[in-house]
Amino acid sequence: MHEMGIAMEIVDIAKASMPADMQGARVQRVNLQVGKLSAIVPDSLRFCFDLVVKDTPLEGAELAIEEVSVVARCKDCQAQWTVTEPVFTCTACRSGAIDILSGRELDIKSIEIEDED
């Protein structure tokens, strides 16, 4: 729902990450990780990204989205498993005391910039 704001934030972070000696170069790709438990719809995000990159060094860049599954670990028995439906009890001992290890990501991993030399 707030994918437009997210897309704008991505562009800002990518622009700020460009090394001083590469200002003016074009960003070809942004590598993003999106957890399945985040409220982000990849298709909507790509749509917004394509709109907001206009007239920036990211114009025409690809937004590569890697979806990250939800992985939980039980605090009681240390079992670790991938959560595929909204059930957050331990699959081994039924405990409800769990840590979410991954699945909340909304991280920029890297940007790929056109380099002439």
Partner 1 sequence: MWFFTNRTTRRYHHNHKTHGPHDHHHHDQGRDVESRKSGTREIKVVRRVLDANDIMAERMRTVFAEKKVFVLNMMSSPGSGKTTTLQKTLARIMPDLRCAVIVGDICTTNDADRLARSGAPVIQINTDAFGGDCHLAAHVVERAVADLDLDAVDLLVVENIGNLVCPAEFDIGEDKRVVVLSVTEGEDKPAKYPLMFRECDATLLNKIDLLPYLDFEMDLARRTIAQIHPGMPVFEISAKTEAGFEAWIEWLVDQVKAKLR
Gap between the terminal Cα atoms of the chain: 41
Question: Which of 91, 85, 47, 89 has its CA nearest to residue 69?
Answer: 85
Piece in contact with partner 1 (CB under 8 A), picked from 46-54, 56-64, 109-117: 109-117
Instruction: Tokens for 97, please give them.
Output: 């005391």
Task: Report DSSP state, residue 21.
Answer: G
Q: In degrees rounded to 5, what are phi and psi of residue 90?
A: -60, 130
Q: Is 17 in the site for partner 1 (CB under 8 A)?
A: yes
Q: How far is the CB of 9 from partner 1 (least distance, A)?
A: 5
Minimum distance, C-beta of residue 24 to partner 1, in the bound complex (Å): 13
Q: Does 97 bind partner 1 (CB under 8 A)?
A: yes
Tell me the one-letter amino acid at 49.
F
Q: Which of residues 31-50 bind partner 1 (CB under 8 A)?
A: 32, 37-39
Task: Give the interface with partner 1 as residue ranges (CB under 8 A).
Answer: 1-2, 5-6, 9-10, 12-14, 16-22, 28-29, 32, 37-39, 86-89, 95-98, 100, 105-116
